[in-house]
């Protein structure tokens, strides 16, 4: 079943993006962070830890990596794309470049940097954004195990060659939607897990109210 919520300029769907995407009109840009598909690793080592109410506990979540047809669908539905986890999916495109988010971590671990394929940079162009561009320590706002900083998404959206609509088909806790709302962009989000969908609705609603307050 698909639920739909409208908040300001955002339309949010609770459901499977592989089923919902074919029903949507074309957007200007996709900015997204699909599951990397490291589920086995997580279950055997418990290395993905919850936050907030789940702090200190390993959490299970919907970590199946997207199938190859997802990337074809995203190409059909958008003009520009920034897709995190590009080194896991090898979803680099013929003419695109890359964004590297350097988390500036001194200790060895499995996620020192994240790489996004980016269609509006040239093939040989790689832009490095150090963590310190956002906040020295990112205080998570939700218990989503993969919540990303809103400022990372604000950076991505600001540097798109368009001021049009932004789609995140793997919305999670809604950080991309909060960033789009803060920047006054139209946003479409899809999330398969009900509790993360509800968290995303709450955060995007709060961002919308905040923007209205100062409009
Ligand atoms: C890596 S997380 C995204 C985290 C997000 N960037 C944030 O800041 O909270 C990927 C999300 O995709 C969701 N997901 C997995 N498969 C999906 C599908 N087929 N359709 C829609 N959402 C899906 C997962 O439940 C998870 O919340």
Interatomic CA distance for residues 51 and 141, integer angstroms: 9
Residue 199 pLDDT:
95
Residue nearest to atom 27 of ligand 1 (CA): 172
Interatomic CA distance for residues 35 and 146, integer angstroms: 9
Residue 36 pLDDT:
83
Predicted TM-score (pTM) of the model is 0.89
Interatomic CA distance for residues 26 and 79, integer angstroms: 8
Of 171, 178, 197, 200, the residue with max ligand 1 atoms within 8 A of its CB, to mutate for a pocket test, comes to 171
15 CA → ligand 1 middle, Å: 11
Residue 40 pLDDT:
47
Point out the residues of the chain with pLDDT beneath 50.
40-46, 136
Residue 6 pLDDT:
98
């Amino acid at each position: 079943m698909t639920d739909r919520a409208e908040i300001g300029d955002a339309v949010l769907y609770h459901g499977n993006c592989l089923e919902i995407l074919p029903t949507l009109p074309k957007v200007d840009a996709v900015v997204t962070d699909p599951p990397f598909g490291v589920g086995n690793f997580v279950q055997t080592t418990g290395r993905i830890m919850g936050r907030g109410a789940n702090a200190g506990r390993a959490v299970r979540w919907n970590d199946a990596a997207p199938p190859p047809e997802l990337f074809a669908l995203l190409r059909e539905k958008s003009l520009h794309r920034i897709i995190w986890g590009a080194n896991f999916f090898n979803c680099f495109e013929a003419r695109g470049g890359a964004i590297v988010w350097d988390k500036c971590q001194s200790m060895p671990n499995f996620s020192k940097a994240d790489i996004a394929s980016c269609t509006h940079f040239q093939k040989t162009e790689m832009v490095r954004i150090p963590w310190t561009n956002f906040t020295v320590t990112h205080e998570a706002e939700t218990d989503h195990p993969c919540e990303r900083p809103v400022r990372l998404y604000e950076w991505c959206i600001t540097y798109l060659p368009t001021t049009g609509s932004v789609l995140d088909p793997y919305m999670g806790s809604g950080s991309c939607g909060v960033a789009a709302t803060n920047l006054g962009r139209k946003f479409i989000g899809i999330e398969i897990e009900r509790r993360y969908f509800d968290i995303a609705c709450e955060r995007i609603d709060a961002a919308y109210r905040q923007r209205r307050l100062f409009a």
